A and B are shown apart, each in its own frame.
Chain A
Amino acid sequence: MTSIEHHLEEHSGRSNGLDSTGMDEKHTPWNHIIGFSISLVLTVLALWMVLHHIIHAAVLFGAIMALAILQAFVQLYFFMHITEHHVPQWPFHVWMLTLGVTFTILFVVASIWIMSFGAESY
């Protein structure tokens, strides 16, 4: 049990003050194992596609981009608790997701904009 779980428990008045090394924690974390495997597969797939030039560049860009987006959803679903609901007081996970999406789009779109400098003169 992490200290945060304990802290939440203490505040909700469920704490029994006993050392919690209960059996309930010893289950296999299937979610993490599956998520980890999928993310490895997606990464290797992208690398393999590029190293072997399986298709011409324009399609390859699109394919890698699609894999990246898929990868993001794998991370959010299997590791980042996106399906959990018990939000205490403020939907900060919505704010953080909004920020995350904003910054991700910003980094990609702005980089293309910035790095295609001089292109307007051609």
Chain B
Amino acid sequence: MLHNAENFASHFFVLGNPMIYGADVSILLVIFGIVFVLTYYKKWGWLWREWLTTVDHKKIGIMYLIAALLMLFRGGVDAILMRTQLIMPNMSFLKAQHYNEIFTTHGTIMILFMAMPFIFAMMNIVVPLQIGARDVAFPYLNAISFWLFFFAAMLLNISFVIGGSPDAGWTSYPPLAGITFDKGPGENFYLLALQITGIGSMATGINFFVTIMKMRAPGMTLMRMPLFTWSVLAASIIIIFAFPVLTVALTLLLLDRLAGAHFFTIFDGGNPMMYVNLFWMWGHPEVYIVVLPAFGIFSEVVATFSRKRTFGYASMVASMIAIAVISFFTWVHHFFTMGAGPGVNSFFAVATMIIAIPTGVKVFNWLFTMYQGRIKMHLPMLWAIAFIPNFAIGGATGVMLSVAPADYQYHNSYFLIAHFHQVLIGGTVFGMLAGMYYWWPKMFGIILNERLGRWAFWFFNIGFYVCFLPQYWLGWMGMTRRMYTYSTGMGWSLWNFISTIGAYMMGIGFVFIVIEVGYSILYGERDLTGDPWDGRTLEWSLPSPAPHYNFARIPEIAGRDAWWTIKEARRKGDPVVESKPFKPIHMPNDSGRPFVLSVLFFVFGFSMVFTWYPLAFVAFLGILISLILRSFEYHTDHTLSVEEIRHTEEAYGRV
């Protein structure tokens, strides 16, 4: 009996590695710390009422933001560990298996549990405010999306200490990820966590598509929408069409692993390359899902801080829609080396090159927006300007990679690693940080400290180039991705050393951001106007942070840059019609069910990972019951009375 328990524990928990024990201890300490603080300050009720059950898009956005920053930390620690292992030849800091697990979780977390929630954070916080809506189209579904993402992230992260992490790369290619070569539960964690967060992403895509199409304030035609909202619309379209393909690919691989199917095995009629084909059908559009909202943020930031209209608004919109559509025609460039033949490779190479054209149009539009503008170098603008050279290099190396014959040289080398970090960090991360700085006052009523922010910016930005430019060289010298060590005499030592130093600098940059946030919460400048940057779009017409119903009166939109138009009218002394009476506001009720439903999904996923089918069945039953109960729930909304609205608005001094 005791022996059985020991045997179970030694497979269930990850044992024998001091770093993992350290992680165990720190996880327990953090959990105890959180429980202690919540109990000591009697905050459990507050946590449940204000956050866990909320359907308010602004609060859900803030939770997405916190989760994204935590995951940026986790993925960043993975990166630091990898770079430390590679700092010198023949290092034995990490063992091969541990290194495999770390690069797998690094990639998976950074794309699906950092970049995705970060864009969802920005979408949630900003889009309803920009289009003059009081919430998203389906607030309850929005809460489900968040909690599914959150518990999927927990499911993937727990694999570190329980069961062992996935180790077949973030792309999880079979046959390596198949049951023949990867018996542990790690890959199951990957498949189920992605599947669960995928449901959330899909729902978010539909939610925002409908929100933007149906909930705009009167007068806001499509061509009057702010460019960030346009970028979210384009990203939502890609989500809606791309995510089902991922669902199919992951389901089939899961069937291979758990049910003995042969979709992607080498023998018995399977074809592993079919997984690769399906994965990138989602995977390539995915990179545009995470970068288009960043483009949208740059458009907002550049226009605001240059005090000019965006140059070439219509061409900006057209390029985003073009990118969204063409992004579905390029996926084979991730596996040119499969050797599909000149016809296939040429088609997808040309499609890949074509997508650089609308992207180039956007870069020129940002430059022309800045041209002759009165540029103010605040933190969001700093990140936006730093993005441009970064993305230019990343784009150029991308076009190099798209040349199919040349790709046989670059494929899976450090050249590729440098390229996609340059576009994903230089594009998405810089964009999200710009957005975070830009909208932080709107979220919290606090302006983040400029001085500490500049330290963070310079450390991160210089560190970025120091880290990734040498990796282009390493790629040319033949260093391939995912190798956990290398020998002396390859000529790689110096460049790897420099690259690691750059990674440490980026780490210091992140620490500065953390310090900056902490300092600003305590001592930061408060935003009392609601419009600290002299903004152009509607969210700046509201107090910071915005009241939970957003707009006391739904505004009438008279032109592009709606808030700027209103301010212009006021400057000219036009009488402002604000005397319309308040009307009762219809708001959705909070609900604890999205949280409970997602906990059940977590239990379902966890028991499927270890193939504990009875428990999985119980959890699945629970999921079904939750859905059925919701279907028979009729009191899903309430109405705010005119007195309540007047009271709140008076507190803001806005009656």
Contacts and interface: CB of A to CB of B under 8 A. Distances in A.
B and A form one assembly: yes
Interface of A: 1-4, 6-8, 10-11, 15, 17-21, 25-26, 88-90, 92, 96, 99-100, 103, 106-107, 111, 113-115, 117-118, 120
Nearest to B214: A4
A99 B139 CA distance: 27
The 4 closest A-B pairs by CB, nearest first: A117-B340, A17-B584, A4-B137, A6-B586
B215 A7 contact: yes
A111 B210 contact: no
Contacts of A89: 221-222
B638 A111 contact: no
19 contacts: A2-B137, A3-B134, A3-B587, A4-B137, A4-B214, A6-B586, A17-B583, A17-B586, A18-B639, A20-B637, A100-B241, A103-B241, A111-B278, A114-B277, A117-B338, A117-B339, A117-B340, A117-B341, A118-B341
Contacts of B636: 1
Nearest to B139: A3
Interface of B: 133-139, 210-211, 213-215, 218, 221-222, 237, 241, 245, 271, 273-274, 277-278, 281, 325, 328-329, 332, 338-341, 343-344, 554, 583-584, 586-588, 634-639
Contacts of A103: 241, 328
A87 B16 CA distance: 63
B137 A99 contact: no
Given A3-B134, A17-B586, A115-B271, 12 more contacts: A1-B637, A3-B586, A3-B637, A7-B137, A7-B214, A8-B214, A10-B586, A11-B218, A17-B583, A100-B241, A111-B281, A117-B338
B281 A107 contact: yes
Is chain B's binding surface mostly helix, strand, loop or mixed? mixed
Contacts of A107: 245, 281
A10 B554 contact: yes
B344 A113 contact: yes
Nearest to B221: A89
Contacts of B635: 21
Contacts of B343: 113
B225 to A, nearest CB: 12
User: In this complex, which of B340, B586, B588, B639 has the most chain A Cβ atoms within 10 angstroms of its Cβ?
Assistant: B586
Nearest to B583: A17
A35 to B, nearest CB: 15
Contacts of B586: 3, 6, 10, 15, 17, 20
A96 to B, nearest CB: 8
A92 B135 CA distance: 22
A19 B634 CA distance: 11
Nearest to A26: B634
A7 B341 contact: no
A79 to B, nearest CB: 12
A19 B638 contact: yes
B588 A115 contact: no
Given A8-B214, A90-B222, A3 B588 contact: yes
Given A4-B138, A17-B584, A17-B639, A106 B329 contact: yes
User: In this complex, which of A1, A88, A107 has the most chain B Cβ atoms within 10 angstroms of its Cβ?
Assistant: A107
